[in-house]
Amino acid sequence: MTNPAPQPIKIVPSKKSAPLEGQEGSLYEARKKIYVRAISGAFTNWRWILVWVTQLLYYGLPWLQWNGRQAVLFHLVERKFYIFGWVFWPQDVFFLAILLIISAYALFFFTAVAGRLWCGYACPQTVYTEIFLWIEEKIEGDRNKRMKLDKAPMDARKFRIKASKHAIWVAVALWTGFTFVAYFTPLKELLGAFSPFTFGGWEIFWILFYGAFTYFFAGIMREQVCKYMCPYARFQGVMFDPDTLVITYDEERGEPRGARKKGVDPASVSKGDCVDCGICVQVCPTGIDIRDGLQYECIGCAACIDACDQVMDKMDYPRGLIRYSTENAIKKHWGRKEIVGHVMRPRTLIYGGILAVVCLAFVWGLATREPLRMDIIRDRATLSREVAGGYIENVYQLQIMNMTEAPRNFDVTVDGLEGIRISDFDGKIEVAPATMQAVTLRVQVPVDTGEPGSSNVIHFEIKASDDPSVGVREASTFLLPR
């Protein structure tokens, strides 16, 4: 009796992860189209409220007027950002940096407290997918109808349905793109460009570009954006701890899962509360099964909570088989009180503390922001020269930025050396609203003052004529010949 020769191990790829032709299987599995089942419930309502709030803001803001101009406009051509009463200049990049830090810490803080709140409710990807799914459902019908339609061969009816869906998607996407451009180019100019059709090439390009992104991300790519393209999904785990509220399936209560008749006491059939209806999987926009535990694909939209609560109601079981809970709470059978009691912990206190400090710094910075700025550039071409009357002259260029939206008069003075004066200058400069005015000043000192060389510090001071508390003082040096 001989042993059969060892067979080479054949690797049979599982059907689920069979790579597509020409694709690298180890990177991405072939995508199965996810047919998201629509659901209603408390968390779905919250998601829709957020859709309305964010989109009313996004689509509406460019139409708001303020002081006779667009209220929110990031005017790239003028290099000025108008936000209601404020005008920001490139020099105000400090505020942008602080705003980014605030966003980052807000994200850390909310993630530590309750997981991916941002992803589930407020992220544009979620919001637009929600809108596009709603359109799809209205036109193609519910989940079963959509699956049937996709399986059916192309005919006139299918073509009509698909074409109208895509047409409406494209319309929404184009409007989104148009709105996007209206944040950077005044909306009035854009509206004026409709008839006669005088859009600039780049404006058309950006409308189409942003529109195409909306269309593909919300209509076609959907959950793949979250799974493969979102950096936050990859590092979210760093901010989680056992006291973070996440969407959790109560395994102890649910298992062993299985079908049973309505109203049957689970204990009498020695089963858990999960009836294994699979609706939590059908409503999941990323197509995962929450019952497998916390997964990085979960965007925390809580659709499965709404779905499961509906099923539990039908079965006359208590709600909350899937619910917001924490790892510790599930393990130690905590109630709401203990969970809330653990929201305050070093991690959240540190994130929250930094967030509060940075927010205060932002508000303080805005409140104490001087509506005036001055840059001094000494003319390096002429250096110093002797002029008639026994004076040494240096030439400076002052760049005065009036950040208010009213014209303003400023008084300019210079000090620091004995007998210093500005030649041919009445000491007054008018600067138009929200503009930068450059002025060239010839500053002179008597020949016998100061030290030879460049160690003579002088100060330019400008003060608003109407309000002396608004002013800046900047130092420069006066060059004297050796």
Partner 1 sequence: MKQILVFWPSFLVAGIAEMVFFTVMDPQQLYLFGQPVDFSPIATYSIGFFGFWLVCAASSMLTVFFQRSADDINRL
Q: Which is nearer to partner 1, 217 or 240 (CB)?
A: 217
Q: Are 306 and 312 in contact (CB under 8 A)?
A: no
| Least spacing, CB of residue 76 vs partner 1, in Å | 6
Q: Which is nearer to partner 1, 200 or 427 (CB)?
A: 200
| Least spacing, CB of residue 227 vs partner 1, in Å | 11
| Least spacing, CB of residue 18 vs partner 1, in Å | 14
* Candidate list 13, 90, 153, 196; residue touching partner 1; CB under 8 A: 90
* Residue 445 vs residues 448, 454, 459: alpha-carbon distances, Å: 8, 14, 13
- Does the footprint of partner 1 cover residue 27 (CB under 8 A)? yes
Q: Which residues pair with 246 in a beta bridge?
A: 325
| Site residue total, partner 1 (CB under 8 A) | 20
Q: In this structure, how many other beta carbons lie within 10 angstroms of the beta carbon of residue 324?
A: 17
Q: Which is nearer to partner 1, 23 or 382 (CB)?
A: 23
* Candidate list 24, 424, 426, 448; residue touching partner 1; CB under 8 A: 24
* Candidate list 17, 23, 67, 397; residue touching partner 1; CB under 8 A: 23
Q: Which residues pair with 65 in a beta bridge?
A: 70
Query: Which 169-228 residues touch partner 1, going by CB under 8 A?
Result: 184-185, 200, 202-203, 205-206, 228
Q: Which is nearer to partner 1, 194 or 205 (CB)?
A: 205
- Nearest CA to 322 among 337, 310, 334, 333? 310
| Least spacing, CB of residue 222 vs partner 1, in Å | 14
Q: Are 289 and 308 in contact (CB under 8 A)?
A: no
Site map for partner 1, 350-389, x if CB under 8 A?
----------------------------------------
Q: Which two tokens stand for residue 404?
A: 């208010």
CA–CA separation, 300 and 136 (whole Å): 22
| Least spacing, CB of residue 313 vs partner 1, in Å | 41
Binding part of the chain for partner 1, among 22-30, 103-111, 344-352, 454-462 by CB under 8 A, reads 22-30
* Candidate list 8, 231, 335, 468; residue touching partner 1; CB under 8 A: 231
CA–CA separation, 129 and 223 (whole Å): 9
| Least spacing, CB of residue 233 vs partner 1, in Å | 13
Q: Which is nearer to partner 1, 8 or 231 (CB)?
A: 231
| Least spacing, CB of residue 93 vs partner 1, in Å | 5
237 CB burial (10 A radius; 0-12, 13-18, 19+): exposed
CA–CA separation, 290 and 279 (whole Å): 11
- Does the footprint of partner 1 cover residue 93 (CB under 8 A)? yes
- Does the footprint of partner 1 cover residue 77 (CB under 8 A)? yes
* Candidate list 33, 79, 428, 473; residue touching partner 1; CB under 8 A: 79
Binding part of the chain for partner 1, among 51-59, 72-80, 392-400, 420-428 by CB under 8 A, reads 72-80
Query: Which 256-315 residues touch partner 1, going by CB under 8 A?
Result: none
Which residues make up the interface to partner 1 (CB under 8 A)?
A: 23-24, 27-28, 76-77, 79, 90, 93, 96, 184-185, 200, 202-203, 205-206, 228-229, 231
